[in-house]
Structures are given as C-alpha cells and as structure tokens.
C-alpha cells in the first residue's frame, strides 16, 4: 500500500485545491505539542548538564526517576503525540476526530508533566498522584481521539494498527505508573518495586514508541524520501511479533520470571528485525537519493533501539536482576533513550516542524506568488551540528553511567546540552516564520 501523503512542499508545487483558510488552520495542534516538547528538551538537557552525577545513581532513586520523566514524558511523549495528531489524518486519509479533545490533552499535559517531575524530585507521592491524574486524563483524550480517527477512516493496515495499538499502550503505561505510585502508599501489590518499575518502563518504551515507529515508519520514510513500500509483509510480521512478545514481557518482568522474560524479549527482538528489514527495503526504493540529516538521524535512532533490544536481552540472559537495578540498568536506559529515541524523535522534528510551519505561514500564499521551500526554513549547518553533538554524547554517557565516572558523565552531558542548544536554535529559527514570515520572494539562500 503506497503512501498517499504528499512530499515536503517546495516552491515548485502547484497550489492545492484546499482553500487558503484551510491551509492556514493546519498544524496548530501538532505545532503546539512540538513547541512544548522542544521546551522540555532544553529543560531536560539543562537538568542533566547541571547534575550529571544523577546517572551514577541506581535507577530507583528520586533524581533518576525525575530526570527520566522529564525526558520521556516531557520531550519524547509530547513530540510523539503531536506527530500522531499530524500523521494520523494524513496516513488514514481522514480528519482528526476532535481537535477540541486534542487541545484538552495539550493543556492537561502541559500542566501535569512539570508537576510530576517536581513531585518525583521531592518524592512527594501525594502530589504525584494529583499531577499524574491530570496527565492520565490528557492521555485518555489522546487515546480516544486516535481510536476514533482510526475507526472513521476504515483503514486496517499496519500503520492504522500501530496508531491504535500505540494509543492503547501509552494509556496503559500511564495508568500502570499511577498504580505503582499508589502502591507506594498502600502496598496492595505484593511484588518487588524494582520489578514493577522495570515493567512500567518497558511497557512505555516498547508499547508506545516502538509500536508507533514500527507502523508510522512505513508512512514517514516514503514521505521523507519519496519511496514506496514494496512489501507490507515484513511490517505486518514485525508488528505481530513485537506485540505478542510485549504481552508476555510486561507480566514476566513484573513478577521477575526470567525464562518468560527471555522468550518474550526474543519475540520483541524478532519483531524489530522484521520491521527493520521492511524499512530498509522501503528506503532502497527512494527517488530522493540524497539523505538529509533528519532522515539519517531517524535511521540511526532505529538502529539504536535495535541495539538496546539486543543489550536488554543480553542483560536478561546474564542475570535476571541486572536490568532492574545497578549501573547496567542505567546504561541500558541511556542506550535506549539517548541512542535510540532521541535521534528518532529529533530526526522526525527536523522534517515535520518545517513542513507544519510552512503550511501555517506560507500555505495560504501558494498560487499568489513564489514561496520559500519548506526545507529552506532550516539552517543546514545548525541542524547537522546539533544532531552530531547529541549523537557524540552517547559514548561518554554510556561509559559514565556504566562506571560511575563523573568526568565522563560531565563530558557527555555537556556535549548533549551543546547539541540541544544548536538543535533548538535551528527549530526556533524555523518557528520564527510563524510570526515573521518572509516576503513572497524565496527566502535568502533558499533552495529552488
């Protein structure tokens, strides 16, 4: 099923049939999430740069949990939800079920996540319950919106299934997190808190992010590179295997059942392998031969997630307790988040944000005169520098978290913060076109 989504607009694209007012209205909700996520990226990198010692601590400590939620809930989930609000209607050929519910989600998320991070840092479980409930209500709106959009589209392919499944998994992840927090008060679950935390983390990373990428990747790669999906069977097989493995992995992690954990992890890894093979075949059909930094970062991130899956399997095979405590667990998390999700999400932002800004700022002008290309809104040098420095931070962060080396952690956190500075500066430059658009002539230095 080839992608029906249009390529990134350029100055050569003819005026669409849609009205200028419709074009101007596009992207408000996704851009709001992208902007909020970018703010959290800056805040999360600054928090780590100011406190690099956090990654030398065991994972079940308040500063580590606060830092992880600043990154995962603050940056990764926020941007991913914004991407879904933009991608779902495009991929499914319909309109979003309710933009109003999307805005409710935005404001609940914007208010709830900072409170959760603060509550984790202070280890105030009562406060965490209040702000966590706000985040959960927002995710309920998100899941309901996504499911309704999928249902109204009538599509049932891998992309549609991944969107629906990812929405369900993120809802379960948030509810599970609230349950784990409540268990700190009433101890109604007779299980190891570390095991429950480990299950909660894998439920979110694999259930939401990996599931989303396994399906959405087959929409994004064709959009970004003008490719076609030659065979949907690897995408379907990958999704089935990873979902089956996840259904076994989470309960096995929660009760610390080693044999079940290993078997389930093998299924998840096999699912990733099928999806990766399908995406590589899709990429090989691209008509846009040049690979820009955003697409390269996306593929590097997918490779990082695959490496994290192998590392997690190795840890489970070596010792059933290794992945639930100690420095190896923190290094494993660094690999998954900094080596996997960060380049994936950052790469997607490099492609999606300029497109959304172009739609808002210049879409209504199409047909009235020349407009700058969406790709020309970014500064290629800043983009490459930001992505490169963020990628370079992975090795010292892995070494530092694995060996409790403060100098290595300081160097890695500094590289990461510097990369984020350039990356965020470029995206803010792009977003500045919303309130200060260029004239009808192409932007200076813009590509034809």
* Structural domains of the chain, count: 1
- CATH number, domain with residue 142: 1.20.210.10
Q: pLDDT 10s per residue in the chain (448 long)?
A: 444 444 434 333 333 344 444 444 558 999 999 999 999 999 999 999 999 999 999 888 999 999 999 999 999 999 999 999 999 999 999 999 999 999 999 999 999 999 999 999 999 998 999 999 999 999 999 999 999 999 999 999 999 999 999 999 999 999 999 999 888 878 788 888 889 999 999 999 999 999 999 999 999 999 999 999 999 999 999 999 999 999 999 999 999 899 999 999 999 999 999 999 999 999 999 998 889 999 999 999 999 999 999 999 888 887 544 444 344 789 999 999 999 999 999 999 999 999 999 988 888 887 777 888 888 899 999 999 999 999 999 999 999 999 999 999 999 999 999 999 999 999 999 999 998 887 654 444 444 3
pTM, 2 dp: 0.90
Half-sphere exposure of 260 (CA within 13 A, CB side): 14
Residue at 5 is within a domain: no
What integer pLDDT is reported at residue 445 of this predicted model?
Answer: 46
In a domain, 448, yes or no: no
Domain that holds residue 308: 21-434
The verdict on residue 316 lying in a domain is: yes
Q: What is the DSSP track for 176-212? A: HHHHHHHHHHH--S-S-HHHHHHHHHHHHIIIIIIHH
In sequence order, the 6+-apart residues with CB closer than 8 A to the CB of 70 are 40, 43, 44, 47, 117
| Maximum CA extent, the chain | 67
Note whether residue 119 is domain-resident. yes
The pLDDT value recorded for residue 319 is: 56
Q: What is the CA radius of gyration of the chain?
A: 21
* 442 in a structural domain: no
Distance (Å, whole) CA 64 – CA 160: 35
Q: Within a domain: residue 405?
A: yes
The pLDDT score that the predictor gives to residue 26 is 58
Please give the full DSSP string across 302-342, using - where no structure is assigned: HHHHHHHHHHHHHHHHH-TTGGGSSHHHHHHHHHHIIIIIH
Q: Residue 321: what pLDDT?
A: 47
The reply to whether 145 falls in a domain is yes
Residue 15 lies in a domain: no
């Amino acid at each position: 099923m080839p992608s029906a989504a249009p390529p990134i607009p350029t100055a050569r694209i003819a005026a669409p049939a849609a009205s200028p007012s419709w074009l101007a209205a596009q992207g408000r909700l996704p851009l709001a999430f992208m902007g909020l996520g970018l703010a959290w990226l800056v805040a999360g990198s600054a928090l780590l740069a100011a406190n690099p010692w956090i990654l030398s601590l065991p994972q079940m400590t308040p500063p580590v949990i606060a830092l992880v939620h600043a990154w995962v809930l603050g940056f990764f989930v926020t941007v991913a939800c914004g991407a879904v609000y933009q991608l779902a209607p495009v991929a499914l050929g319909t309109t979003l079920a309710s933009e109003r519910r999307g805005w409710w989600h935005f404001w609940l998320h914007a208010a709830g996540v900072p409170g959760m991070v603060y509550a984790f840092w202070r280890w105030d479980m009562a406060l965490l319950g209040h702000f966590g409930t706000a985040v959960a209500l927002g995710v309920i709106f998100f899941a309901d919106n996504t499911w309704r959009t999928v249902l109204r589209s009538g599509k049932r392919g891998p992309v549609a299934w991944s969107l629906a499944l990812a929405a369900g998994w993120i809802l379960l992840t948030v509810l599970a997190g609230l349950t784990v927090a409540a268990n700190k008060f009433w101890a109604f679950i007779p299980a190891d808190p570390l095991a429950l935390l480990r299950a909660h983390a894998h439920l979110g990373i694999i259930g939401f992010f990996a599931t989303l990428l396994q399906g959405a990747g087959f929409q994004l790669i064709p959009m970004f590179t003008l490719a076609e999906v030659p065979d949907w069977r690897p995408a379907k097989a990958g999704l089935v295997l990873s979902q089956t493995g996840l259904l076994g992995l989470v309960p096995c992690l929660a009760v610390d059942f080693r044999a079940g954990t290993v078997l389930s992890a093998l299924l998840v890894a096999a699912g990733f392998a099928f999806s990766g093979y399908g995406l590589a075949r899709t990429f090989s059909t691209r008509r846009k031969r040049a690979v820009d930094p955003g697409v390269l970062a996306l593929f590097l991130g997918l490779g990082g997630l695959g490496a994290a899956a192998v590392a997690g399997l190795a840890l489970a095979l070596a010792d059933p307790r290794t992945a639930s405590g100690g420095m190896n667990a923190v290094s494993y998390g660094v690999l998954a988040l900094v080596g996997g999700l960060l380049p994936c999400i950052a790469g997607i932002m490099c492609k999606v944000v300029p497109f959304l800004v172009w739609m808002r700022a210049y879409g209504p002008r199409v047909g009235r005169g020349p407009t700058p290309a969406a790709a020309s809104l970014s500064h290629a040098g800043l983009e490459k520098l930001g992505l490169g420095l963020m990628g370079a931070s992975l090795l010292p962060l892995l070494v530092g978290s694995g060996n409790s080396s403060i100098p290595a952690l300081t160097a890695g956190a500094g590289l990461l913060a510097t990369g984020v500075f350039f990356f965020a500066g470029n995206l803010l430059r792009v977003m500045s076109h919303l309130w200060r658009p260029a004239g009808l002539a192409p932007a200076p230095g813009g590509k034809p």
